[in-house]
């Protein structure tokens, strides 16, 4: 190594990590965060009003779920205008005010980008469907019927039924991986990619600090429209035709990576911008690592390791972390236990009488993981899944597949701000979904003044993560000591922290390989060195 190369490598090692590496990110679902105008639906002005609560948590950034113009058939993930705010959420001026207020509090702002599909009410699709030779004729995935009139392939929609809908105006089928009102963009087309990059540039110019890119592995299909092969029976319940196929050809085309590199080249021009991919499916891990490999692709990705897990076990955590080793070119992971699409974790992972202690252990575990951590609004309060009666369901997927799927509405209920108000201080009107009596009792104002509350604990743990480089960005080893006990070791430079968790409802023996000594940095549920009560957990500073 010559002197110039050595100095460059030394400079690289001594550069501070980008703001997003090891960050804590708070997901805001605007419909349910806070309603400023009393119409029962949360809005951007309500998010701005609630920023002090978010900033007090000690997170680094917020991620806003879609607020763009939309017919709301999939609550904003069906975009009719990428560069406008839907009137139910406010105006561009409200968005600009939110950005300014967040930045004033030291919060970065990420927004959702939906690049795989639009609404059927988008102007692009309205033009595309008029004829086979208009300027946007190929902006969506159109195909002729088979000779017998059936769809071009056997592909199935995530939300049920074929992934093809007949359009009489063009005399062709159009593709949709989700709702029939969410036509698939033809992201193979350079003009479509450029239009989406222009959308990203529009929001970057308004001051956003990053993007969470929705369903990115659905962005490109097999142009030959080959049939998907059947999926082998793995014993898991099959609730939709989608579950009967391997999704070999309707998604995950190799050329997605080239589009990703164009996205990264754009965001790099704006400095420390963060890009996060959502990736699901049987090949999620390989695709996440492909999408984040090296320095020319996305910064991070997250999958569904924890979001749909029925139980939380040491083996699950060990495998998830082992899949993201700290090796050259592997990428940087992000983790979420909850989000707007998955049932609340406390309703999946423990019984009702265990929720208070389990929530504390879960908060400590999330704060201990290597990678970025994402908190979904209300997770800091210990909110649980609300049972929504069929006649009050809003979620199109749940309505279509009732009663075989668990409604996403139950995890999207409004955030309770004040326990004494009828609608929890979320709105002065009728909320779009019920809050749930159990969650109302966990309101922010009730926990705000209680130093023993889950909210107070979450604040302390996020501050601990921020203050300790080993937790925020250090290496990690993970071991499932037993079916109940998990040990993580986080290390950076001369700092080492042992993280010990009893994931069971019974006392567990202290792991033999860990000395029952050292400075306790955090402990929950009565845990102490040498002693692991039910759901006990603690962090211990080790001497190196």
Q: Which residues form the catalytic set? A: 214, 278
Contact 387, 344 (CB under 8 A): no
E strand or H helix that includes residue 458: helix 454-467
Which one, of 373, 315, 368, lies nearest residue 339 by Cα?
373
With H, G, I as helix, E, B as strand and everything else as coil, classify residue 46.
helix
Task: Report residue 61 as tokens.
Answer: 């950034």
CB atoms within 10 A of CB 503: 28
Sheet holding 142-143, edge to edge: 142-143, 172-175, 164-167
Could you tell me which of 469, 26, 405, 76 has the C-alpha nearest to residue 240?
405
Sign for the pseudo-dihedral over CA of 66, 72, 78, 81: negative
Spacing of C-alpha 450 from chain mean position: 29
Beta bridge partner(s), residue 301: 277, 333
- Contact between 79 and 67 under an 8 Å Cβ cutoff? The reply is no
Tokens of residue 459, six digits: 């604040």
C-alpha span between 38 and 59 (Å, rounded)? 28
CA–CA gap between residue 271 and residue 478 (Å, rounded)? 34
CA 349 to chain centre: 19
Beta strand 332-336 pairing with 372-376: parallel
Helices and strands, counts by H and E, the chain:
17, 18
437: left (phi over 0), alpha (psi -120 to 50) or beta: alpha
Q: Report d(CA 217, CA 17) in Å as an integer.
A: 28
Q: Which residues of 121-144 are buried (b: 16+ CB within 10 A; e: fewer)?
A: bbebbeebbeeeeeebbbbbbbee
Pairing of the two strands 300-302 and 274-278: parallel
Sign of the torsion formed by the C-alpha atoms of 193, 196, 202 and 208: negative
Distance of CA 113 to the CA centre of its chain: 12
DSSP string of 73-120, one letter each residue: TTTTSS-SEEEEE-TTT--HHHHHHHHHHHHHTT-EEEEEEE-SB--T
Q: How far is CA 18 from the centre of its chain?
A: 20
Q: 535 in helix, strand or coil?
A: coil
Task: Please name every residue paired with 212 in a beta bridge, in sequence order, or none if there are none.
Answer: 112, 276
Residue 412's CB is within 10 A of a number of other CB atoms, namely 24
């Amino acid at each position: 190594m010559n002197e110039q190369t050595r100095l460059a490598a030394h400079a690289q090692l001594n550069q501070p990590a980008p703001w997003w590496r090891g960050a804590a990110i708070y997901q805001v679902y605007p419909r349910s965060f806070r309603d400023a105008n009393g119409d029962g639906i949360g809005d951007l002005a309500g998010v701005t009003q609630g920023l002090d609560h978010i900033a007090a948590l000690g997170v680094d950034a917020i991620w806003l779920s879609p607020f763009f113009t939309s017919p709301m058939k999939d609550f904003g993930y069906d975009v009719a205008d990428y560069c406008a705010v839907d009137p139910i959420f406010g105006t561009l001026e409200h968005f600009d005010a939110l950005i300014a207020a967040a930045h004033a509090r030291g919060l970065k702002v990420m927004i959702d980008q939906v690049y795989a599909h639009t609404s059927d009410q988008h102007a692009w699709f309205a033009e595309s469907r008029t004829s086979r030779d208009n300027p946007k004729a190929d902006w969506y995935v159109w195909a002729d019927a088979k000779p017998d009139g059936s769809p071009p392939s056997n592909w199935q929609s995530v939300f049920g039924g074929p992934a093809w809908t007949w359009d009489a105006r063009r005399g062709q089928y159009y593709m949709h991986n989700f709702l029939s009102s969410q036509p698939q963009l033809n992201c193979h087309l350079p003009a479509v990619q450029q239009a989406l990059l222009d959308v990203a540039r529009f929001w970057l110019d308004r001051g956003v600090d990053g993007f969470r890119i929705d369903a990115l592995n659905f962005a490109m299909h097999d142009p030959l429209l080959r049939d998907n092969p059947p999926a082998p029976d793995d014993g898991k319940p099959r609730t939709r035709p989608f579950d009967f196929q391997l999704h070999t050809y309707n998604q995950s085309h190799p050329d997605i990576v080239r589009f990703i590199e164009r996205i990264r080249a754009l965001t790099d021009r704006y400095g420390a911008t963060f890009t996060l991919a959502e990736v699901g499916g049987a090949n999620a891990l390989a695709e996440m690592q492909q999408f984040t490999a090296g320095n020319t692709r996305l910064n991070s990705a997250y999958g569904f390791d924890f979001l749909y897990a029925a139980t939380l076990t040491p083996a699950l955590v060990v495998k998830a972390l082992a899949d993201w080793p700290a090796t050259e070119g592997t990428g940087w992971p992000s983790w979420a236990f909850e989000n707007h699409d998955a049932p609340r974790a406390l309703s999946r992972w423990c019984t009702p009488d265990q929720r208070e202690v389990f929530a504390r252990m879960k908060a400590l575990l999330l704060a201990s993981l290597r990678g970025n951590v994402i908190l979904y609004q209300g997770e800091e309060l210990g909110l649980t899944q609300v049972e929504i009666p069929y006649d009050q369901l809003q979620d199109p997927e749940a309505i279509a597949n009732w009663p075989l799927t668990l409604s996403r509405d139950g995890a999207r209920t409004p955030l309770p701000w004040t326990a004494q108000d009828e609608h929890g201080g979320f709105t002065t009107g009728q909320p779009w979904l019920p809050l749930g009596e159990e969650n109302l009792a966990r309101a922010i104002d009730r926990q705000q003044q209680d130093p023993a509350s889950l909210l107070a604990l979450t604040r302390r743990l996020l501050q601990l993560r921020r203050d300790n480089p080993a937790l925020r960005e250090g290496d990690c080893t993970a071991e499932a000591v037993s079916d109940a006990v998990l040990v993580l070791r986080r290390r950076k430079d001369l700092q080492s922290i042992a993280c010990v968790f009893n994931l069971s409802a019974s006392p567990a023996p202290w792991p033999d390989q860990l000395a029952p000594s050292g400075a306790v940095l955090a402990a929950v549920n009565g845990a102490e060195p040498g002693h692991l009560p039910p759901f006990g957990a603690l962090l211990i500073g080790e001497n190196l």
